[in-house]
Amino acid sequence: MSMNANEPETTAQEEIRNPEVTYDTTDLSVRAVVWFLICLAVGGALITFVVWGVYRHIANIAPGRPGTVPIGNNVADLAAAGGDPALRFPPPRLQPDPVADFNKFRVLEEERLNSYGWMDQAQGRIHIPIERAIELTAAAGLPVRPGASGFPPHGPAPPGDRGAAGGINLSFAEPGSSAPAAETNRGSQ
């Protein structure tokens, strides 16, 4: 309802229209969409008939000689050509139980990893359990390149540098030096 008595009342059935606001007719025309769909249907039908004609021509090239393609040949033609190639082809060699095969593999690997045995008896090469190999390597030490210490630089971190360890700077000393193995440097928090 309107508050002014001079204005006519608009009902729900009347259409309110703004002449300055309309839809844009320049983007896409209905005629172009319809022509595209018609051309698409005609093109699809044309391609279907061309492919059908090509297959028919291929089938008529050698009518007296049976083909080995099962499609379009009857059983007698396939038998004359040596049988259906799909039936003569060997079946795939599938793994019937992959979980059991993997479990067998793991057992063999664990057995080899945790036992003594020959790798090559002629050359005198053996394998030992992994725990024993770790003990022997720790006792003997690993080889080091000459001139390389393998340790990070010494000394505490600069003041205020909390580092990746959350305020703890772990510095390592070279073997044989008198410096402590690990230092704690807590910066101001």
What pLDDT is stored for residue 1 in this prediction?
Answer: 47
pLDDT in tens, 150-169: 555 555 555 554 444 444 44
Three-class secondary structure of residue 48 per DSSP: helix
C-alpha–C-alpha distance, residues 157 and 58, integer Å: 83
Mean pLDDT, all residues of the chain: 73
Tokens standing for residue 98: 């992959």
Which segments within 45-184 are labelled E, that is strand? Answer: 117-120, 125-127
C-alpha–C-alpha distance, residues 81 and 113, integer Å: 56
- Percentage, residues of the chain above pLDDT 90: 30
pLDDT in tens, 78-117: 666 666 666 677 777 788 899 999 999 999 999 999 999 9
**Angle, CA 146 vertex, CA 145 and CA 149 arms, to 5°:** 75
pTM (global) more than 0.85: no
Domain positions in the chain are 30-88, 98-140
Three-class secondary structure of residue 3 per DSSP: coil
